[in-house]
Amino acid sequence: MHASQELVTATWILVSIYMVVILFLVIRGALRIKNMSDYAVGNVSFSPVAVGLSLAASMTSAATFIINPGFVALYGVSGFISLAIVLPLAAMVSLYFLTKGFRKQGTAVKALTMAQWIGNRYQNKNYALFFAFLSLLLITFIVLICVGLTAILSKALNVDSLYVLIAIVTFVFGYMMFGGANSMVYTNLIQACIMIVVAIVLLGSGYEHFSNGIKGFLDKLAAIDPALASTTNTKSPLFRDFFEIIVCQIIVGVAIVCQPHIITKSLLLKNAKDVNKYLLVGIVVELLFFLVVIAGLYARLRFPDLTLNGKPMPMDTIMSTYVIQEFPVYVGLLVVMGLISAGLSTLEGLIQALSTTITSDIVKPLVGKQLFKGEEKSTTGLISEVWFNRLVIIVLAVVSTIISYQQIVSPNLSVGILAQNGVYAYFSAAFVPVLLGTFGRNIPLIAPVVASITAVVVHFGIYYGRLTPYMQEPVRNPGVASALAILSSVVVSFILLALLKNRQDSATIKQTKAEVVDNY
């Protein structure tokens, strides 16, 4: 399948303009960066609306706009219920309650990253280091976005995937070496505005299928395959029953906000009074974005057997193929830019968060005194933190390119499975420490530490050990492993807290009795 020459030319022109605008904003933001704090959380006062739109843009990625519609196209209504209704509602409720407490604690402990927040909150550097290394799992999410962007641009430009992948990585990682939070909020703002328009276009692109109402729409899907119109799909590896579709997605949705590029976004707000407006804007726009996966059902009706010119479409290319085939050139161009924006907005946040974590939370505690120059000229060292952070981004770019190309050539159904496995393991481990650190007081260190370790062991143990009936197929659902890991970590942490409280109460009673006897 090839895009028309008109679309190719128009895409080249618009992508070039887009690149120039992004570079202008990056240079503008980079001029204000003096240290790692400026890079991580910025030194510019942003409006709550701008930060809220930045949140919505960075929380919604190529997964929502490009990859997840492919799951919905393959497996139908069950996928839509799971990915567009259950997961988003759970995530938004969690975001509301966790953001307020996290920001209050984050401001108090002067945290730049998730690892720092956890380390400072529990007063333990080793725990911070553990989470910093755990953050490396987020590379899988970077890979997902690179693959999604490559899929859409290679089709719109008629260029080989490898060349497009290299160009995307070089450009995005290149400008993120200099921009940081100052430029990211501005670029996210532009991207969010484009994404809002494109979300509305995509939601409306299948309006003709509803000419006979929702029942008529479902009947069309059922005519292709009855399982597509069912609330469960036993043929799928992800949406087989209500446990996978609802229970797992509620648990995952509640914990999913415990990712660095999401939960730390509130630290960009300089005034606590702005939090409510920030959340309102972010949540409303985010819910709109999540609904975009319905376009996967439109794509299935457009390509009933999911083939084009007799060739089966790989799942990760279904959405890009639908866009190129469905829309006239200039509407298609707008949608392509929206899909690119969806990917870039999250990719920027991940690069910024992960590189900052590696520099500030792994390298600095281990060899920072010998390696980094201080801000004072008299301080010895080989390199400044800001420049070392740029070297880290180069390494991340190389690693991401290698893994992304492997996923383009031979994915296990979808790059989405790889990304879910890595990212879900991370936030499964982060959920209990964020929960206890946000709402608890005088929490013993052992409770969150054991909870985090339990989550990682249970998640990967279930997934790779093929434990439970859900893990017996060639394609396994990371959501099940994550949900069970989160439940296990919560149970373990609360049992520990109860035991420690009983021990503490017993010690207090003994001490009181001893004091009474002494006084007597």
> For the packed helices 295-302 and 213-224, what is the interaxial angle rounded to 10 degrees?
50
Mean pLDDT of the 297-311 span: 91
**Can you give the pLDDT at residue 463?**
96
Q: Is the pLDDT of residue 52 over 50?
A: yes
Among 21-30, 79-88, 306-315, which range has the highest average pLDDT? Answer: 79-88
Is residue 489 situated within a structural domain?
no
**Domain presence at residue 85:** yes
Tell whether the model's pLDDT for residue 379 goes beyond 60: no
Q: What is the mean pLDDT of residues 20-47?
A: 70
Residues facing 307 on adjacent strands: 312
CB 398 within 8 A of CB 409: no
| 519 — pLDDT class (breaks 50, 70, 90) | low
* 129 half-sphere exposure, CB direction, 13 A CA radius: 9
Length of the chain: 520
Q: Which pLDDT belongs to residue 405?
A: 95
> Could you report the per-residue pLDDT of 228-278, keeping only the tens digit for each?
999 999 989 999 999 999 999 999 999 988 877 677 778 778 777 888 999
Mean pLDDT, rounded, of the chain = 86
The pLDDT confidence band at residue 330, using thresholds 50, 70 and 90, is: confident
Q: What is the pLDDT of residues 151-197, one digit of tens each?
A: 889 988 889 999 999 999 999 998 888 766 666 677 778 888 888 99
- 494 within domain boundaries: no
Confidence of residue 339 (pLDDT cuts 50, 70, 90): confident
Q: Is 115 part of any domain?
A: yes
pLDDT value for 516: 43
Distance CA 329, CA 335 (A): 10
Where does the pLDDT of residue 518 fall: very low under 50, low under 70, confident under 90, or very high at 90 and above? low
Using the predicted structure, report yes or no on whether residue 404 has a pLDDT greater than 70: yes
Helix pair 48-59, 180-204: axis angle to 10 deg: 70
Residue 490 lies in a domain: no
Q: What is the pLDDT of residue 137?
A: 93
Q: Are 303 and 322 in contact (CB under 8 A)?
A: yes
Q: What pLDDT band is residue 106 in, cutting at 50, 70 and 90? A: low
| Residue 378's pLDDT band (cuts 50, 70, 90) | very low
Beta-carbon count within 10 A of 499 CB: 13
Give the C-alpha separation, 167 to 150, whole Å: 9
Q: Kindly state whether residue 459 falls inside one of the protein's structural domains.
A: no
Query: Residue 140 has what pLDDT?
Result: 94
**What domain count does the chain have?**
1
What CATH number has the domain bearing residue 112?
Answer: 1.20.1730.10
Identify which has the larger pLDDT, 373 or 134. 134
How many helices and strands in the chain, by DSSP H and E?
25, 2
The residues, any chain, with a CB within 8 Å of residue 311's CB and separated by 6 or more, are none
Q: Are 238 and 232 in contact (CB under 8 A)?
A: no
Contact, 381 vs 364, CB < 8 A?
no
d(CA 253, CA 92) in angstroms, rounded, equals: 8
Average pLDDT over residues 33-37: 66
Contact 290/83 with Cβ under 8 angstroms? yes
Q: What is the DSSP letter of 308?
A: E
Q: Is the pLDDT of residue 42 over 80?
A: no
| Per-residue pLDDT, 72 | 96
H/E stretch holding 451 = helix 446-464
Specify the higher pLDDT residue, 5 or 219: 219
Contact 268, 41 (CB under 8 A): yes
H/E stretch holding 311 reads strand 311-312
pLDDT (tens digit, 9 = 90+) per residue, 137-160?
Answer: 999 999 999 998 998 899 888 899
SS3 110: coil
Share of residues in the chain with pLDDT > 90 (%): 48
> Using the 8-state DSSP alphabet, how is residue 313 labeled?
P
Q: Return the closest-CA partner of residue 355 out of 383, 387, 384, 396.
A: 396
Detail the DSSP E strand segments found in 227-290.
none
Is 510 a domain residue? no
DSSP 122: T
- Cα 224 to Cα 88, 205, 371: the distances in Å are 28, 20, 62
Q: Identify the domain containing residue 245 by its residue range.
A: 5-373+380-410
Q: Is residue 515 part of a domain?
A: no
Question: Residue 357: enclosing H or E segment and its boundaries?
Answer: helix 329-357
Give the pLDDT confidence of 413-466 residue by residue, as tens digits.
Answer: 888 899 999 999 999 999 999 899 888 888 899 999 999 999 999 999 999 999
